Structure 1
Amino acid sequence: MKKYLVYPVYFLFWIFFFIAARMVFLVYHHNLSGDLNFGEILDVFYYGLRLDFSFAGYICIIPFLLLFLNTFFTRFPVQAIIRWYSYIIIGMLCFLTVADLELFTAWGFRMDNTPLQYFKNPGEMAATVSSSPVFSLLSIGLAMALVFIVVYRKMVDKKLATLFTQIRVWQIGLSLFLIALLIIPIRGGVQKIPMNLSDVYFSKKLYANQAAVNLPWNIMFSLMHAQSDKNPFVYFPIERAKTLVDELYATKADSIPSIVSTKTPNIVIIVLESFTAKWIGYLGGAPGVTPQLDAIAADGMAFTNFYASGDRSEKGLMAILSAYPNQAITSIIKTPTKTQNLPSINKMLSERGYTTGFTYGGELEFANIKAYLLNTGFDRLVDKYEFPMAERTTSWGVHDEFVFNRFLTDLNQMDQPFFQAMFTLSSHEPYDVPLTHFVGNDEVTQFKNSIYYTDSVLGDFIAKAKTQPWWNNTLIAIVADHGHHLPGYDANHVPSKFHIPLVFTGGSLSRNGVVETIGSQTDIAPTILYQMNMDVSQFKWGRNLMDTHESFAFYAFNNGFGLVTPDGIATVDNVSGNTVYLDPGFDTTQLKFGKAYMEVSYQDFLEK
């Protein structure tokens, strides 16, 4: 019977591996782990065990089947096959573990199927990786792999050296029983409903729940559920949810002021990569980082309570151009057959005779952005391949100074009226900008310096644009694609990560000053089009920012949402159902609107 100890020993080997991987995660993110007390850290390991047992069960299926075959074929090279199978699994899991360490730093949630959409663009992926401490991560991964290979040889391999030497019926039966027994840890117990991610969520501190997650289990689960056509955010009967959403968008103002001097202005939208409010002076951020944008805001119309709809560039572009909200567990941009059904500001303006275009210094193929832009009818797309090789000096493509220069040249040669959008990139990691204003090699300082660089070339562009003949008939909207966890290492759900700038400027802008209306990226397109007396009814997920009554903003993060109201902000984690952030004075009865928004917007995504 001692031979059968190899079954539980092999299973426990993987449990030890996952416990060690969780320890590495907690230590690597020590700045966040420091907010957990000792009891909460113990709970991270305790609650994580169910997922550890589950994925260990999956790993054990093949070795247990090989051991079962050994009861029939005693000369079968079970030891060698299981050894190399285990080594391969160790290598793969160590790679995923270290990759997740930095992805969590950047994205604020554990790795799932999200990175798969970026595999088509290895250059863009390499640019992101280049800002990571690659040597440190490789060292951690290699050390983990070597340690567990040694442990495997001492703990498991020796027990596999001599197994079954003759065929016996009871051995066959016991092996089958042990294989069948794996179903219990795999499904998380003997309860009626199989385990899901919410079973390991135990705390109102979202980081504690995320630390408890078993990484490979999470990746597998997200892949298995990636194509689900079922709405996971059902809080109310759908008609009740739609009624609540309609209440949010009901027009409250008797009249809405005009902010442009002509009904056919040129429209320019400048999207700034990662311009978080934490760096923006006019929003109360660190002083001296964005002097140009602050000056533009002082001379134009500056929105102070404005939020990104999501946390990725492609999601921000969808919200800005199509007034379409972010999906918390996926993105509509992944499915071109859906994006072709979206409205867009450029499509509507094109129907009015506007020349439309989009300019970016990187690869537009990234994350299906190009397919979306083509689906929504842009006349002209400019990406890094239209710039000379001498200007492709950053790992992402072309630095912002060259892109702004090209953008200005193109505008000067364009027939009016025009709608043109431009997306910057230099303030994306690895922050390798050709200007050093803030000295320092740490990531926060490099990011800060890149923001200053893009701000400086933005100011130069606006100064030159003011001298062009088209300026007096142009409205320019300047907005960020999303916020950022730096500075401050914001958790993925907190409002400060989503707070971003929006500034209107241009010669056709007839009003200026500060606007405290709460809004989000989905409100930009309907606000502009309303000023042109155009029908904005198809932009049902946006509202007019000039309607200052009962304003709100909604943002979605990985499997959760935030609701911004005049009474404050609350965020809800959908997995646990907990409110994980709550401003004092926030009326929690208002959460029904956020839940309804989450439900109806995702249902709309499914039906596109």
Structure 2
Amino acid sequence: MSFLKKLSPFYNLIICYIVVSFILRIVLLFHPITQASFSTIDALKIFTIGIVSDFFVFIIASCFLWLYLIFISNNKYYKPYGYIILGLLVSLFLYIASGKSILNEYGGALPKIGLIFVGIKTFLFGLLLFVPKYRDRIRFWLFSFVLFLFVLLILQNAISEYFFWNEFGVKYNFIAVNYLVYTNEVIGNIMESYPVIPLFSGLFLIAGIASYFVIQKSKAYLQNIPSFVEKLKISGIYFVLFAFSLFAVPKLAQLENSQNTFTNELQANGIYRFYLAFVNSELDYFKFYKTIPNNEAYATLNKQIPGINGFSTLRDIKSAATEMHKNVVLITIESYSADFMKAYGNDQNITPFLDKLATESLLFTNFYASGNRTVRGLEAVTLCLPPTAGESVVKRKDNKDKFTTGSVFKEKGYAVKYLYGGDAFFDNMEDFFTGNGYDIIDKKTLTPEEITFSNVWGVCDEDMADKAIKVMNTEANTGKPFFNHWMTVSNHRPFTYPNDKIDIPGDAKSRDGGVKYTDYALNKFFTMAKKEAWFANTVFVIVADHCASSAGKTELPVDKYRIPAMIYSPGFIAPQHYTNLVSQIDLMPTVFGILNFNYQSKFFGQDVLKADYKPRALIATYQDLGMIRDNVLTILSPKQEVKQFQLTLIPKEGIEDDFQLYYDQKPLKTERKDLINETISFYQTASDVLKEKKYNKK
């Protein structure tokens, strides 16, 4: 047998991985969410650099395959070695089972996993040792299982990448890493959103067929097991390729530099993207982004936020009028894009209640979300802080005792609560809100009688509306004003909700249905609230956490950040349109201004109704940090990169000027240095105050 055939398990699996990745790229290229055209150069980069990157990534990922193959041997079963090895395995098993192993120091499921793994290994080694007659057959089936497992993982990863793309329009990022942490919600979401049994049945069938061919082409390795010298040669070749791969993979990733974001995403290797997201959950702004001297950054910020002094955002907010301690109810709506509403051009009548409420409210027609995840929306309305690079503050370790909207209300004598229909453990919400003085009302606090419908994300919005009314009635009876922040859940995949509520069935799993049901539940909430005595003394703030989709042709497609926002208080706030540019971080400072609050503020967000407000919006992903001003989008990216785009309105017939959504984003011909410095000032100082703990409550 030639030496090349002894490498057959490696190269057959590599071929399998590259073929699957090639097919996946074609599928994603023609996916409806891939809203871009590709030049010949783009296509060549996607498929050539992409394939080369896949090759080297698989070399790194196949280290476990090398380890398994290199230990296939008959010599280890000869006396006395076989009995010595078995004795060591049994001793290791007993050591882990004793509960005093090093694995127990790490806790969790690790000791159990270790015990199962060593137990299976011990059993199989004993079987091969004591039943030599069937050793070759048993080894073949184990060999087949290992190759099947690799093929299955290759196909499973492809399916996961497809569904991730289907949801977000990108390869793996922070969200995929988070999904590993919150497995209950994520697995439940998959179970409820997709036909899991047919999907996995098909997966196992295809994996079985593909594995059959891989096994047939690779079984020569077992028919003539490599000698010790040959294994040294195999290991030498593998180590050289492994070392080169460690160098090549990040270098190839640097070639993801097209102006077409989709080209970069399709060219990228999903597994490597996942690794990058895992190790870079926090990005040091001062290491990765363009900076200016700190004194210059704060001086520039002072021109945007009057009243701050020195290296801080601390300033006095004074009102000439008397403070009003009205109740405040903040409702953040899950995944709610502006284009769901009639005013922005939607003709499907999926938001009839909010369409009507908008005509009775102070409506912000040009309002932008800070990010594309719920934690970013919560961060924006709670901390009123620009979306700094990396993970949201909500998810960070240093997330407690911050200066928040809740802390301002508490100083004014308010009861402060966070209401959430799911388990507030998800996305670290419980840790964040309790660590900042909020009381939590979530699914765990509801009695079985209070739950009429739930899915993996929590109880339906109607149930939470009922609970919210009960909570507010109790608070009103204390005589203290209350601030309640309610986060909805029903407008989220799998979009299931009670049947016979709206004209879209609850089991249709339709996004339009999820939107319309949430609208229905909010209508029910306000219908109940209007009957309560506290309603007339309450300000209601309604805003989305983020858009339903964040995918687009550029790093920050501005239409994917446009969300509805309104303040409703009949008899107190007159219905009107506020048409200037507004950021999500400005919403609650504006509410404080309406209530004439006097307080010391650290917020970057401002009262947009004040004469000194300079319109701008701050939007970001976990790594691209943007500012919209003067119809220019400035983006700061890692490696000190800066891009600027001219925003040219693409008018849509039948929509009022105030509600036009879509812009053409073309690279700016002449650099606007002033806007670059202003953008840097916001993000650099925000990073600085968090890093130096200057954004803490005291």
- Is residue 277 from structure 1 mapped to residue 341 from structure 2 by the alignment? no
Asked if 2 retains the 8 angstrom alpha-carbon contact of 1:302 and 1:504, the reply is: yes
- Is residue 352 from structure 1 mapped to residue 416 from structure 2 by the alignment? no
Residue 148 of structure 1 is matched in structure 2 by 210
Asked if 2 retains the 8 angstrom alpha-carbon contact of 1:310 and 1:316, the reply is: yes
Residue 578 of structure 2 is matched in structure 1 by 515
Q: CA 1:226–1:404 in 2, change beyond 3 Å: closer, same or farther?
A: closer
Asked if 2 retains the 8 angstrom alpha-carbon contact of 1:273 and 1:482, the reply is: yes
Aligned equivalents of 2:333 and 2:19: distance in 1?
A: 41
Query: What is the CA-CA distance between 1:514 and the residue it aligns to?
Result: 0.4
Residue 473 of structure 1 is matched in structure 2 by 537
Query: What is the CA-CA distance between 1:513 and the residue it aligns to?
Result: 0.7
Query: What is the CA-CA distance between 1:526 and the residue it aligns to?
Result: 2.0
Instruction: Specify the code of the residue in structure 2 equivalent to 1:187.
Output: L
Aligned equivalents of 1:247 and 1:431: distance in 2?
A: 45
Residue 437 of structure 2 is matched in structure 1 by 377
Query: What is the CA-CA distance between 1:483 and the residue it aligns to?
Result: 0.9
Asked if 2 retains the 8 angstrom alpha-carbon contact of 1:560 and 1:574, the reply is: yes
* Residue 385 of structure 2, aligned match among 324, 331, 343: 324
Among all aligned residue pairs of Structure 1 and Structure 2, give the percentage whose two residues are the same amino acid. Answer: 20
Residue 527 of structure 1 is matched in structure 2 by 590
Query: What is the CA-CA distance between 1:473 and the residue it aligns to?
Result: 2.5
Greater Cα offset, 457-466 or 132-141 = 132-141
Aligned equivalents of 1:286 and 1:508: distance in 2?
A: 30
For residues 304-356 of structure 1, the C-alpha deviation after alignment (integer angstroms, 9 at most, x for no partner) is: 11111111222211211221333453232223x41103211112211221112
For the residue of structure 2 that corresponds to 1:477, the secondary structure is strand
Residue 263 of structure 1 is matched in structure 2 by 324
- TM-score w.r.t. the length of structure 1 is 0.85
For residues 399-432 of structure 1, the C-alpha deviation after alignment (integer angstroms, 9 at most, x for no partner) is: 2222222222322332331111112122122222
- Is residue 296 from structure 1 mapped to residue 352 from structure 2 by the alignment? no
Aligned equivalents of 2:506 and 2:390: distance in 1?
A: 35
Aligned equivalents of 2:682 and 2:207: distance in 1?
A: 45
Query: What is the CA-CA distance between 1:97 and the residue it aligns to?
Result: 2.5
Instruction: Specify the code of the residue in structure 1 equivalent to 2:548.
Output: H
Aligned equivalents of 2:323 and 2:159: distance in 1?
A: 55
Instruction: Specify the code of the residue in structure 2 equivalent to 1:367.
Output: D
Q: CA 1:294–1:104 in 2, change beyond 3 Å: closer, same or farther?
A: same
Query: What is the CA-CA distance between 1:126 and the residue it aligns to?
Result: 4.0
Structure 1: 5+ residue runs without aligned partners?
A: none
- Is residue 403 from structure 1 mapped to residue 459 from structure 2 by the alignment? no
For residues 116-139 of structure 1, the C-alpha deviation after alignment (integer angstroms, 9 at most, x for no partner) is: 445565542244212235356435
Residue 371 of structure 2 is matched in structure 1 by 310
For the residue of structure 2 that corresponds to 1:421, the secondary structure is strand
Aligned equivalents of 1:26 and 1:577: distance in 2?
A: 30
Aligned equivalents of 1:596 and 1:62: distance in 2?
A: 47
Query: What is the CA-CA distance between 1:606 and the residue it aligns to?
Result: 4.5
* Residue 496 of structure 2, aligned match among 432, 436, 443: 432
For the residue of structure 1 that corresponds to 2:219, the secondary structure is helix
Asked if 1 retains the 8 angstrom alpha-carbon contact of 2:555 and 2:624, the reply is: no
Aligned equivalents of 1:439 and 1:352: distance in 2?
A: 44
Query: What is the CA-CA distance between 1:377 and the residue it aligns to?
Result: 0.5
Residue 111 of structure 2 is matched in structure 1 by none
Residue 56 of structure 2 is matched in structure 1 by 54
Aligned equivalents of 1:566 and 1:575: distance in 2?
A: 26
Asked if 1 retains the 8 angstrom alpha-carbon contact of 2:378 and 2:545, the reply is: yes
Greater Cα offset, 79-88 or 348-357 = 79-88
Aligned equivalents of 2:252 and 2:507: distance in 1?
A: 35
Asked if 2 retains the 8 angstrom alpha-carbon contact of 1:384 and 1:398, the reply is: no
Instruction: Specify the code of the residue in structure 1 equivalent to 2:236.
Output: F
Aligned equivalents of 2:684 and 2:143: distance in 1?
A: 46
For the residue of structure 2 that corresponds to 1:504, the secondary structure is strand
For the residue of structure 2 that corresponds to 1:31, the secondary structure is coil
Residue 182 of structure 1 is matched in structure 2 by 241
Instruction: Specify the code of the residue in structure 1 equivalent to 2:48.
Output: Y
Q: How many residue pairs end up in the alignment?
A: 594
Structure 2: 5+ residue runs without aligned partners?
A: 79-135, 309-316, 649-665, 694-698
Aligned equivalents of 2:440 and 2:72: distance in 1?
A: 64
Q: CA 1:9–1:358 in 2, change beyond 3 Å: closer, same or farther?
A: closer
Aligned equivalents of 1:571 and 1:286: distance in 2?
A: 33
Residue 659 of structure 2 is matched in structure 1 by none
Instruction: Specify the code of the residue in structure 2 equivalent to 1:177.
Output: G
Q: CA 1:600–1:159 in 2, change beyond 3 Å: closer, same or farther?
A: farther
Aligned equivalents of 1:442 and 1:433: distance in 2?
A: 7
For residues 166-203 of structure 1, the C-alpha deviation after alignment (integer angstroms, 9 at most, x for no partner) is: x55xx5764453133124442244xxxx7267424142
Q: CA 1:382–1:570 in 2, change beyond 3 Å: closer, same or farther?
A: same
* Residue 501 of structure 1, aligned match among 564, 572, 585: 564
Query: What is the CA-CA distance between 1:442 and the residue it aligns to?
Result: 11
- Is residue 559 from structure 1 mapped to residue 623 from structure 2 by the alignment? yes
- Is residue 213 from structure 1 mapped to residue 277 from structure 2 by the alignment? no
Instruction: Specify the code of the residue in structure 1 equivalent to 2:373.
Output: R
* Residue 279 of structure 2, aligned match among 224, 238, 241: 224
Asked if 2 retains the 8 angstrom alpha-carbon contact of 1:270 and 1:476, the reply is: yes
Aligned equivalents of 1:576 and 1:349: distance in 2?
A: 39
Aligned equivalents of 2:636 and 2:401: distance in 1?
A: 29
**Which protein has the larger Cα radius of gyration, Structure 1 or Structure 2?**
2
Q: CA 1:160–1:593 in 2, change beyond 3 Å: closer, same or farther?
A: farther
Residue 31 of structure 1 is matched in structure 2 by 32
For the residue of structure 1 that corresponds to 2:539, the secondary structure is strand
* Residue 43 of structure 2, aligned match among 38, 41, 44: 41
Aligned equivalents of 2:553 and 2:515: distance in 1?
A: 18
For residues 453-496 of structure 1, the C-alpha deviation after alignment (integer angstroms, 9 at most, x for no partner) is: 2223323433443443323322211111111129x988873222
Matches within 5 A, 1:519-598: 519-531=582-594, 532-539=596-603, 541-547=604-610, 549-569=613-633, 574=638, 577=641, 579=643, 582-584=646-648, 588-589=671-672, 590-598=675-683
Aligned equivalents of 1:34 and 1:477: distance in 2?
A: 34
Asked if 2 retains the 8 angstrom alpha-carbon contact of 1:54 and 1:188, the reply is: no
For the residue of structure 1 that corresponds to 2:250, the secondary structure is coil
Q: CA 1:316–1:504 in 2, change beyond 3 Å: closer, same or farther?
A: same
- TM-score w.r.t. the length of structure 2 is 0.75
Aligned equivalents of 1:553 and 1:155: distance in 2?
A: 58
* Residue 234 of structure 1, aligned match among 285, 289, 294: 289
Matches within 5 A, 1:431-470: 431-434=495-498, 435=500, 437=502, 439=504, 446-470=510-534
Greater Cα offset, 473-482 or 5-14 = 5-14
Aligned equivalents of 2:600 and 2:143: distance in 1?
A: 62
Query: What is the CA-CA distance between 1:599 and the residue it aligns to?
Result: 4.5
Instruction: Specify the code of the residue in structure 2 equivalent to 1:456.
Output: Y
Q: CA 1:68–1:429 in 2, change beyond 3 Å: closer, same or farther?
A: closer
Instruction: Specify the code of the residue in structure 1 equivalent to 2:189.
Output: T
Aligned equivalents of 1:142 and 1:327: distance in 2?
A: 42
- Is residue 10 from structure 1 mapped to residue 7 from structure 2 by the alignment? no
Q: CA 1:176–1:290 in 2, change beyond 3 Å: closer, same or farther?
A: closer
Q: CA 1:307–1:344 in 2, change beyond 3 Å: closer, same or farther?
A: same
* Residue 106 of structure 1, aligned match among 167, 172, 191: 167
Query: What is the CA-CA distance between 1:392 and the residue it aligns to?
Result: 4.0
Instruction: Specify the code of the residue in structure 2 equivalent to 1:301.
Output: L
For the residue of structure 2 that corresponds to 1:517, the secondary structure is coil
Instruction: Specify the code of the residue in structure 1 equivalent to 2:557.
Output: V
Query: What is the CA-CA distance between 1:452 and the residue it aligns to?
Result: 1.9
Asked if 2 retains the 8 angstrom alpha-carbon contact of 1:309 and 1:555, the reply is: yes
Instruction: Specify the code of the residue in structure 2 equivalent to 1:338.
Output: D
Asked if 2 retains the 8 angstrom alpha-carbon contact of 1:273 and 1:428, the reply is: yes
Query: What is the CA-CA distance between 1:266 and the residue it aligns to?
Result: 1.4
For the residue of structure 1 that corresponds to 2:585, the secondary structure is helix
